[in-house]
Amino acid sequence: MNHIIKYPETHPLTWRLDTINKNPIWINEYHKKNGYSALKFMLNNMTPKDVINLVKDSELRGRGGAGFYTGIKWSLMPKKNNIPRYLLCNADEMEPGTYKDRLLLEQLPHQLLEGMIISGFAIEATMAYIFLRGEYISAENNLKKAIIEAENCGYLGRNILGSDFTFKIVLHTGAGRYICGEETALINSLEGKRANPRIKPPFPAIVGLWGKPTCVNNVETLSNIPAIVLNGSNWYKKISLSKDRGTKLMGFSGRVNNPGVWEVPFGISARELLEDYAKGMKKGFRLKAWQPGGAGTDFLTEKNLDVKMDFDSISKVGSRFGTGIAMAVDHTVNIVSLVLNLEKFFSRESCGLCTPCREGLPWIVKILQSFEDGFAQNEDINILEDLCVQLGPGKTVCAHAPGAMEPLQSAIKLFRSEFEQCIRKNSFSNIEMINKKNMFKLNL
């Protein structure tokens, strides 16, 4: 909503955005808008312990999808010794339907850098890597420029602003594969290995990058830090409408009138997001289902639209808040085809480490394809339901397979009849038609 006036106190993440030209906020503009004052304040007034306690008090939760408390994650880092330690910024945004980090990376690179420098100080790291998705070309260019600007102003490098804090940020770009966004897979990828997730424990805080203590935080999480340092944890707690603190980039995509991403307080209803921000469904289209936070979250329906957008409320209605970027499915979309598309993605992006994921996902794709082609058998729904359990939580090293099961299990639960209709089509004439189609293909 463009008519909303953004104040630093109400829109800490996005008030600096150039909403008209959508230009990146470079260092001069960032300085004019209070940029790097949180860093200066912190270096003069706070110890690493103070920063960790402040972030703990603020109850900031990770914005990558899992929602772990950032302050607690930081406090898991061992006491300072002579071993190097690392801060990693997870900028490998690839969850289908998610486009929030891209905005922060492309248009507010300095806000992220300031957040990273403060976070690096808090966990007493001297080195950080931004693991950026290779396809985010403008983000790469803008971050490169911003890092040089920050270095020239003395915000990065040796003895930052005359203090004894030394910090370096390196931009590392990937070469595809969704799984790199999983924090331990990200570490493996950064080490130049296949991006297979690692078994936890040991957690990255103890054994991370090159075996050293490592903290991995999402772009949006880190971008929240400067405002918390400047305005304090009480302010941060008060700006939300729910138990989850602060603001969150939320969005709606699909056949809505105004698809986009907006900074809103936690706890606004999904209906408000859909109707006020996304301006409702396009003319002639009805809402059939929606995913609250990315491809790996359970479908909800119109009945759930009054749910509060926060971690607890969304899980109470049977889904997951995830990345908070919602997707509307309209009535023209066949749910079986949609789930087939989602499972093809998960199947293609499985790293192949765990058997249930490596073998189960292609199997699911095959079964769903048979539903779409009209020759699924009655028991195939049961097989799918069984696979939802076999690929569910606890069966694999990481959350890739369980995430892939969320849309499938909820689609079967909510739209079972659409799956059954595919079976009923299964008649002799249908099989004949498929045979003809295949013959036609061969003749070509």
Partner 1 sequence: MNMMKNKLNDLELKKIEEEKKNYEDNKSISIEALKIVQSSRGWVSDELITEISKILNISESQLEEIATFYSQIYRKPVGYNIIKYCDSVVCYMMGSDNIKCKLENILKIKIGQTTNDNKFTLLPISCLGNCDKAPVIMINNKTYSNIKISYIPILLEKY
Q: Which is nearer to partner 1, 134 or 267 (CB)?
A: 134
Nearer to partner 1, 25 or 342 (CB): 342
φ/ψ of 386, rounded to 5, equals: -65, -40
User: 211 — alpha (psi -120 to 50), left (phi > 0) or beta?
Assistant: left
Question: Which of 137/161 has CB closer to partner 1?
Answer: 137
CB of 72: closest distance to partner 1 in angstroms?
A: 27
- Report, in Å, the least distance between residue 254 CB and partner 1: 6
Nearer to partner 1 (CB atom), residue 178 or residue 236: 178
Minimum separation from the CB atom of position 94 to partner 1 (A):
6
C-beta of 148 vs 170, nearer to partner 1: 170
Give the strand pairing for 287-291 and 325-330.
antiparallel
Please report how close the Cβ of residue 255 comes to partner 1 at its closest, in angstroms. Answer: 7
The H-or-E segment that residue 170 falls in is strand 168-173
Q: How far is the CB of 329 from partner 1 (least distance, A)?
A: 7
- Report helix, strand or coil for 232: helix
Handedness of CA 249, 114, 95, 133 (dihedral sign): positive
Residues 361/350, Cβ–Cβ less than 8 Å: yes
Per-residue exposure over 330-368, b if at least 16 CB sit within 10 Å of its own CB, e if not: beebbbbebbbebbbbbbebbbebbebbeebbbbbbebb
Phi, psi of 191 (to 5 degrees): -80, 0
First to last CA, the chain: 52
CB of 236 to partner 1, least distance (A): 27
For residue 49, how many other CB atoms are within 10 A of its CB? 11
Question: What residues contact 412, with CB distance under 8 A and at least 6 apart?
Answer: 381, 384, 385, 388, 419
Q: How far is the CB of 221 from partner 1 (least distance, A)?
A: 17
Nearest distance, CB of residue 144 and partner 1, angstroms:
13
**Whole-number minimum distance, CB 210 to partner 1, in Å?**
5
Alpha-carbon distance of 48 to 409, in angstroms, equals: 44
* Residue 224: CB atoms within 10 Å: 26
- In the complex with partner 1, which residue's Cβ is closer, 55 or 351? 351
**Cβ distance to partner 1 smaller for residue 316 or 348:** 348
In the complex with partner 1, the residue whose CB is nearer, 28 or 141, is: 141
Reading the block at residue 275, the tokens are 């109707």
Q: Which residues bind partner 1 (CB under 8 A)?
A: 84, 93-99, 101-102, 133-137, 170, 172-178, 189-195, 210, 251, 253-255, 259-261, 295, 325, 327, 329-330, 333, 338, 341-342, 344-345, 348-349, 351
* Nearer of residues 51 and 156 to partner 1, judged by Cβ: 156
In the chain, the largest separation of any two C-alpha atoms, in whole Å, equals 81
Strands 247-253 and 260-265: antiparallel
Compute the distance between CA of residue 74 and CA of residue 83 in angstroms, rounded to an integer: 17
Q: CB-wise, 348 or 416, nearer to partner 1?
A: 348
Q: Which long-range contacts (CB under 8 A, 24 or more apart) does 382-385 make?
A: 384/408, 384/412, 384/419, 385/409, 385/412
CB of 319 to partner 1, least distance (A): 15
79, with CB counted inside 10 A (0-12, 13-18, 19+), is exposed
